[in-house]
Amino acid sequence: MSTFAQWTPAVLALVVVASPGVWRWSRTTITIAHEGGHALVALLTGRRLEGIKLNADTSGVTVSRGRPTGLAVMLMYLAGYVTPSLLGLGAAALVTVGQVRPLLWATVVLLVGMLVMIRNLFGVVSVVATGGVMFAVSWYATAEWQAAFALFVSWFLLLGGVRPVGELQSRRLRGRAPNSDADQLARITRVPGLLWVLLFAVVTIGALVLGGRMLLPF
């Protein structure tokens, strides 16, 4: 793949994430990954997953039942903001070794699994539309277009995972996120919410740096 072909998806993803109008619509994809992270960790830690809602304002909520304190619920709250970036890092690793089609199909399978737990119409439409795009590219696109699309997805998750952390802290400073993941973690652990936000930032920026080193021709 040429240097131009490697850089183009990165620049396009940056434009999507940095442009307020475009980000407003594309951010729902990051919310899908965010809530999917909550849901997966809830299941893995033995909590009872009751449903997921994705809202038109790009917010979301994952409802599970279990102890209100302890390691399981802490890991669940911790997972949300870091999941898009970790998925982006995993996608970058697969793209780097040429496993583009398995990446696309794995994404479709994960979205189908998530669809079962969606509890509102906007959420269903969002997940079906995202899965439909992934399926269409994996089934109909040429290998070159699949590779370019997989690069874009990797970069979008890596870059798109960082911006919500900054948005979270901005809302917290204005008192508009009293029940954010960071503040829920603060109540459970008595560690200040700002430190949890900083942890989110370290993980997401770290994933961006590592993923970028994998994907760009340095």
Q: Which domain holds residue 22?
A: 3-213
Residue 218 lies in a domain: no
The radius of gyration of the chain's CA atoms, rounded to the nearest angstrom, is 17
Residue 195 lies in a domain: yes
- Helical (H) or strand (E) element with 62: strand 60-65
Phi, psi (degrees; rounded to nearest 5) at 68 = -75, -10
pTM for this predicted structure:
0.96
pLDDT level of residue 3 (50, 70, 90 thresholds): low
Residue 132 lies in a domain: yes
Residue 61 lies in a domain: yes
Strand partners, 118: 52
pLDDT tens track for 40-84: 999 999 999 999 999 999 999 999 999 988 999 999 999 999 999
Residue 15 scores a pLDDT above 70: yes
| Number of domain units in the chain | 1
